[in-house]
Amino acid sequence: MEYLQLFDEEGNELKEKIARSDKFNIEKGKYFKIILLIIENEKHEFLIEKTSNERNNVFAFLGGHVTYGDSNIKTVIKEAKEELGIDIKEYEIKFVDTIKHDIAYCDTFYTHKNINLKDIKVQEEEVDSVYWMSKEEIFNLDKKGEFRHSNIQNFKKVLDYLKKVK
């Protein structure tokens, strides 16, 4: 059974956990955490997953739940390796922002990395396929209801971050 790390109202880690299967029954004032990693290549395209049938066949960014005892960064590195077979080093990852939802925090991370799609080994239970897409293509998929809409706010935060650092 997988356990998720719990956090308080301010996002501080608690020494508590909840079974992933119980995450929607979380006690008021406690939160679990999700990470998203948005990867950009030299062509200013972003790495997008098309999720598996079990995950509703939507387009989304690489992401995952922070499991009990893991840090955000460890989760980013672990999810990249598990879902796509990508090795990412801690120094390559930039924290962008945290968005607080009703029962979860979503921490958004960014990295710039050129990855050949042929080198990606998808975790078939979670990911059907991967693509490089422009921001316009991503926003068009969202308008058509084909992109995980909860990821769009995070994507906009990354685009704002990129304007500031470039």
pLDDT in tens, the chain (166 residues): 899 999 999 999 999 999 999 999 999 999 999 999 999 999 999 999 999 888 889 999 999 999 999 999 999 999 999 999 999 999 999 999 999 999 999 999 999 999 999 999 999 999 999 999 999 999 999 999 999 999 999 999 999 999 998 6
What string of H, E and C letters represents the secondary structure of 55-124? HCCCEECEEEECECCCCHHHHHHHHHHHHHCCCCCHHHCEEEEEEECCCEEEEEEEEECCCCHHHCCCCC
Q: What is the pLDDT of residue 1?
A: 87
Q: What is the pLDDT of residue 53?
A: 86
β partners of residue 150: none
Q: What is the pLDDT of residue 161?
A: 96
- Single-letter amino acid, residue 8: D
Q: What is the pLDDT of residue 17?
A: 95
Q: What is the pLDDT of residue 79?
A: 95
pTM (two decimals): 0.94
In the numeric block, the tokens 């998929």 are attached to 141
Nearest partner of 103 among 18, 46, 3, 37, judged by Cα: 18
Q: What is the pLDDT of residue 36?
A: 97
Residues 6+ apart with CB under 8 A from 57: 50, 51, 128
